[in-house]
Amino acid sequence: MTDSELPAPPHMTPDEFRRLGRELVDWVADYMERVEELPVRSRSQPGDTRAMLPAAPPEHGEPWDDILADLDRVVLPGITHWQSPNFYAYFPASSSGASVLGELVAAGLGVQGMLWSTSPACTELETHMLDWMAGMLDLPAAFRSDGAGGGVIQDSASSAVLCALVAAREAATGSGPLVAYTSDQGHSSIEKAARITGVELRLISVGEDSAMRPEALEEAILEDLAAGRRPVFCAATVGTTSTTAIDPVAAIGEICRRHGLWLHVDAAFAGVAAVCPELRFVNDGLELASSVSTNPHKWLLVNFDCGLFWVRDRAALIQALSVLPEYLRNAATESGAVIDYRDWQVPLGRRFRALKLWFVIRHYGVEGLRAHIRRSIALAQRFAARVSADPRFELAAPAPLSLVCFRLREGGDEANQRLLDAVNESGRAFLTHARLGDRLTLRLAVGHPSTEARHVDETADLLLALATDVAKEPLQR
Amino acid sequence: MTDSELPAPPHMTPDEFRRLGRELVDWVADYMERVEELPVRSRSQPGDTRAMLPAAPPEHGEPWDDILADLDRVVLPGITHWQSPNFYAYFPASSSGASVLGELVAAGLGVQGMLWSTSPACTELETHMLDWMAGMLDLPAAFRSDGAGGGVIQDSASSAVLCALVAAREAATGSGPLVAYTSDQGHSSIEKAARITGVELRLISVGEDSAMRPEALEEAILEDLAAGRRPVFCAATVGTTSTTAIDPVAAIGEICRRHGLWLHVDAAFAGVAAVCPELRFVNDGLELASSVSTNPHKWLLVNFDCGLFWVRDRAALIQALSVLPEYLRNAATESGAVIDYRDWQVPLGRRFRALKLWFVIRHYGVEGLRAHIRRSIALAQRFAARVSADPRFELAAPAPLSLVCFRLREGGDEANQRLLDAVNESGRAFLTHARLGDRLTLRLAVGHPSTEARHVDETADLLLALATDVAKEPLQR
């Protein structure tokens, strides 16, 4: 059959897109309006969503009314509402209207930014945004693209630490098994990166403050050196997942410099706090770091994914990750005058993620972003004050930013687990937990733009009331 | 300062989002309407985009009119229009209205699908879509989630091959250095994955047809075994980047089975062709594969990123990639009744990518998707007929799908490079190249939904006219 005899696929015309786009924008706006009323953690049971889906795909296209209706019928009941003002679990994924609009435009343009030449604006806007962000966060000048360094947007801090480790390994000399280090409070992605690269990982012990003990790090390095192994990489954490503890990066950096290790600073959650001058303690020691990452998709109002990753020596990263097949050769690359971001990440393809970051920075302005960070911290402190004023509760760790760790003093893990389950089952708030000193601890992280004082107050009220219920039930043990 | 005394950040209200969302939807619809008129490859020079951007970010939020105006002023000139009907470079990134709407809703919901419990619908819809797709492509039943296998959406086939290699390495027994294999026409991501994991990679030679020579593979494996190395992994390619050549997967699979290698089939571009029963030759041998990947974001109307990755034994993948820190523990995970997709990929976080795939399948229906694939192939054949009817041109490789490789018979690489430069500089079409038998070859890949017969005809006309110009200029050598 020739092409003219073939049935035409039902591609959407621009006018159909215009009409349906408005409907979907309205659906999202409606969602923003009603998300507060929905149970924060989904009440779906395993298999519930699939049970509502037909076993086979439709042979012929379906009407959009049906698709839209299924967003409410099939999808929403299975959503845990990360964009609810009462979502306090993990770390926030604080999206914003400006960011969603950036994602829409990026999808509409549909460019691949693997090479500069495959869309120069995609690469240059990204480099520029990373330089803007380096300035906004007051990072050492070495991370900016006008010297030997530079930044890139990746999907996550997980991928960033993997790339940093690969670059560190590539730069290593000598022989003997390679060793990497992080604290036992380091993120699971560091262990995953070590496993993927086949590099041995040592978990260094932390002090009372959940921060890495530099003397324990140096001891481990010396031991490995004595045994003929090659220490090559250390990931320090600024803002651990459990408590936002902050490793002593300066002291760690001195040790890494002394022994020639690549120091990566994983500031996935906390790093963006440095938009506020008074919070720049999160940058302490960065002048000794080889690379650093932080995720605007956690606390800076950019929807996932938008992980920023800067390196001091971009040549080391590119050397480690560059593979140049014939079909990607082009004049711009060969001129050496451009950045090809495919050499800064694991995958070849890449979306135009800089757009949403640009939209967010321009919509908010730096002062607007500072206001968001400051407000989250103030709300977290407000919550901490409420909870710690109740003699049944204790704060379980310092709260330097917007994460509060707390627990019931009495009843041990069982009582705390019951309390956590009760608040999450209520649907009125969603919190997660950590283990601190082997004790179950509740975590409340503030960061969503729609979270206001009334939300944290109501969550505190709820927790105090549920604690009374928990105390009434006999414990199992 | 308490939170009530702090300045409020300028968060967008749902109604502002409604209004601006319509403006941005209109901008995207306008873009769809006018993209055909824009020069396909950007004429931007290095630094042009950055020169239009202010050195520092704004202190205060800017009006949206300015941001929208900058989309036209700053961004568009630096865009290479992957969504133009005249984009024939690399492989297509054929987005569609339905997919862009899915991306919009996913961004609006803003959920993290790292665990089943962090949004059950995100995980279950994804598993279901992978089962739908396995059925639509007629993959062996072993890849479906109702047995020991299953599928996942990743960002790209690059990440899929990395995960497959890590799983293969994890499953390896014995000692001695590990070795992986692919053909010298395999994708660069395979080399990148080998480098990241530190596994040695052997490039196996291909025949005249650009397909891997199975006997050369077995020879290499035997040599490595004899030298005490451990062959663990082979990536076969269905649809190479240069010519869409297809490795003899069945023969390769027998060899892999004999020697205990994990066989990954990289069908990034070509795999989706199997929605059409008459094209299921792309599945030959899959019954022997351990894993397979294909990207709906290339040829199946889903905007990047949407890479599908199926494994026969999900336990092997999870075993390789699972790291379970305390804060991710939850009742659903511990019940064993759910999938946690964080264990199926490199990063921890993940977007709700199944939504756009669901939207596309439902909007088009399977017949609509088949129509798109068939139409692309017919248009490519139409172009091939036009070019090969001109005695100055030759087809440089078979065109089993929608990629045509062709070149000028006379004038060697220089003439072909001039022709390629001339067509790309015209702005009326964008093509890329390959080297076949060490000769520069032009590639024309069809797959965008808006590409019609008139576009490929005009591109053929343009090429034939430019060939006349090229022939008139004296060659340099």
Q: What is the pLDDT of residues B193-235, one digit of tens each?
A: 999 999 999 999 999 999 999 999 999 999 999 999 999 999 9
Chain B touched by A191 (CB under 8 Å): yes
- Residue B380's closest chain A neighbor by CA? A3
State the Rg of chain B over Cα: 24
Chain A touched by B255 (CB under 8 Å): no
Chain B nearest-CA distance from A254, in A, is 28
With pLDDT > 90 as the criterion, what percentage of chain B qualifies? 93
Query: How confident is the model at residue B39, as a pLDDT?
Result: 98
Query: How confident is the model at residue A285, as a pLDDT?
Result: 98
- Consecutive H or E run containing A432: strand A432-436
Hey, which residues 233-252 in chain A have their CB within 8 Å of chain B? 241-242
pLDDT digits (tens, 9 = 90+) for B292-330: 999 999 999 999 999 999 999 999 999 999 988 888 889
Chain B touched by A118 (CB under 8 Å): yes
Chain B touched by A349 (CB under 8 Å): yes
Tell me if A402 sits within 8 A of A410, measured CB to CB.
no
Chain A touched by B409 (CB under 8 Å): no
Residue B209 burial (C-beta neighbours within 10 Å; 0-12, 13-18, 19+)? middle
- Residue B105's closest chain A neighbor by CA? A28
Which residues of chain A does B111 touch, with a Cβ-Cβ cutoff of 8 Å? Answer: 79-83, 93
Chain A touched by B361 (CB under 8 Å): yes
Helix (H, G, I), strand (E, B) or coil at A342: helix
Chain B touched by A359 (CB under 8 Å): yes
Instruction: Name beta bridge partners: A153.
Output: A308
* Closest C-alpha among B106, B65, B280 to residue A79: B106
Beta strand pairing status for A307-311 and A393-395?
A: unpaired
A21 vs B28, B58, B135: nearest CB: B28
| Optimal mutation site among A109, A145, A199, interface B, most CBs of chain B within 10 A | A109
d(C-alpha A415, C-alpha B315), whole Å: 35
Q: Give the pLDDT band (50/70/90) at residue B448.
A: very high
Q: Report the complex ipTM.
A: 0.97
Tell me if A424 sits within 8 A of A414, measured CB to CB.
no
A6 vs B27, B155, B378: nearest CB: B378
Which residues of chain B does A136 touch, with a Cβ-Cβ cutoff of 8 Å? Answer: 57
Per-residue pLDDT of chain A (477 residues; tens, 9 = 90+): 567 778 899 999 999 999 999 999 999 999 999 999 999 999 999 999 999 999 999 999 999 999 999 999 999 999 999 999 999 999 999 999 999 999 999 999 999 999 999 999 999 999 999 999 999 999 999 999 999 999 999 999 999 999 999 999 998 989 999 999 999 999 999 999 999 999 999 999 999 999 999 999 999 999 999 999 999 999 999 999 999 999 999 999 999 999 999 999 999 999 999 999 999 999 999 999 999 999 999 999 999 999 999 999 999 999 999 988 888 889 888 888 899 999 999 999 999 999 999 999 999 999 999 999 999 999 999 999 999 999 999 999 999 999 999 999 999 999 999 999 999 999 999 999 999 989 999 999 999 999 999 999 999 999 999 999 998 877 665
Kindly determine whether residue A323 and residue B158, on different chains, have CB atoms separated by under 8 Å: no
Query: How confident is the model at residue B476, as a pLDDT?
Result: 65
Chain B touched by A1 (CB under 8 Å): yes
Buried b (16+ CB within 10 A) or exposed e, A291-321: bbbbbbbbbbbbbbbbbbbbbbbbebbbebb
Peptide bond into B30 cis (omega under 30): no
Strand positions, DSSP E, B287-366: 291-294, 307-311
Chain A touched by B366 (CB under 8 Å): yes
B188 vs A78, A325, A372: nearest CB: A325
Kindly determine whether residue B10 and residue A453, on different chains, have CB atoms separated by under 8 Å: no
**Which 8-state DSSP code applies to residue B409?**
S
Distance in Å from the first CA to the final CA of chain B: 75
Spell out the residues 6+ positions from residue A219 whose beta carbon is closer than 8 angstroms to its own.
none
Query: How confident is the model at residue A401, as a pLDDT?
Result: 97
Chain A touched by B328 (CB under 8 Å): yes
B304 vs A112, A241, A433: nearest CB: A112
Instruction: Name beta bridge partners: A230.
Output: A178
Chain A nearest-CA distance from B313, in A, is 19
> Between helices A412-426 and A453-472, what is the axis angle to 10°?
130
Helix (H, G, I), strand (E, B) or coil at B126: helix
- For CA atoms A40, A43, A47, A51, the dihedral sign is negative
Chain B touched by A10 (CB under 8 Å): yes
B61 vs A304, A364, A453: nearest CB: A364
| Optimal mutation site among A346, A403, A440, A454, interface B, most CBs of chain B within 10 A | A346
Peptide bond into B340 cis (omega under 30): no
d(C-alpha B370, C-alpha B287), whole Å: 23
- Consecutive H or E run containing B314: helix B314-321
Kindly determine whether residue A195 and residue B297, on different chains, have CB atoms separated by under 8 Å: no
Which residues of chain A does B17 touch, with a Cβ-Cβ cutoff of 8 Å? Answer: 25, 28-29, 32, 97, 100-101
d(C-alpha A473, C-alpha B209), whole Å: 74
d(C-alpha A295, C-alpha A298), whole Å: 6
Q: Give the pLDDT band (50/70/90) at residue B337.
A: confident
pTM score over 0.90 = yes
B48 vs A4, A77, A120: nearest CB: A120
CB pairs < 8 Å spanning A and B: 512
Chain B touched by A389 (CB under 8 Å): no
Tell me if B366 sits within 8 A of B272, measured CB to CB.
no
Buried b (16+ CB within 10 A) or exposed e, A185-219: bbbbbbbbbbbbbbbbbbbbebeeebbbbbebbbe
Query: How confident is the model at residue A1, as a pLDDT?
Result: 58
Which residues of chain B does A85 touch, with a Cβ-Cβ cutoff of 8 Å? Answer: none
pLDDT digits (tens, 9 = 90+) for B153-181: 999 999 999 999 999 999 898 999 999 99
Residue B1 has pLDDT above 70, yes or no: no
Which residues of chain B does A20 touch, with a Cβ-Cβ cutoff of 8 Å? Answer: 97, 101
Compute φ and ψ for B62, nearest 5 degrees. Answer: -105, 155
- Residue B165's closest chain A neighbor by CA? A196
Kindly determine whether residue B136 and residue A303, on different chains, have CB atoms separated by under 8 Å: no
Chain B nearest-CA distance from A249, in A, is 23
B6 vs A155, A297, A375: nearest CB: A375
B192 vs A59, A107, A323: nearest CB: A323
**Which 8-state DSSP code applies to residue B87?**
B
Which residues of chain A does B98 touch, with a Cβ-Cβ cutoff of 8 Å? Answer: 12
Kindly determine whether residue B346 and residue A158, on different chains, have CB atoms separated by under 8 Å: yes
pLDDT digits (tens, 9 = 90+) for B8-36: 999 999 999 999 999 999 999 999 999 99
* Closest C-alpha among A119, A305, A65, A107 to residue B24: A107
Residue keyed to tokens 């003439």: B415
d(C-alpha A434, C-alpha A444), whole Å: 11
Kindly determine whether residue B109 and residue A364, on different chains, have CB atoms separated by under 8 Å: no
Which residues of chain A does B92 touch, with a Cβ-Cβ cutoff of 8 Å? Answer: none
Which residues of chain A does B41 touch, with a Cβ-Cβ cutoff of 8 Å? Answer: 117
Kindly determine whether residue B162 and residue A364, on different chains, have CB atoms separated by under 8 Å: no
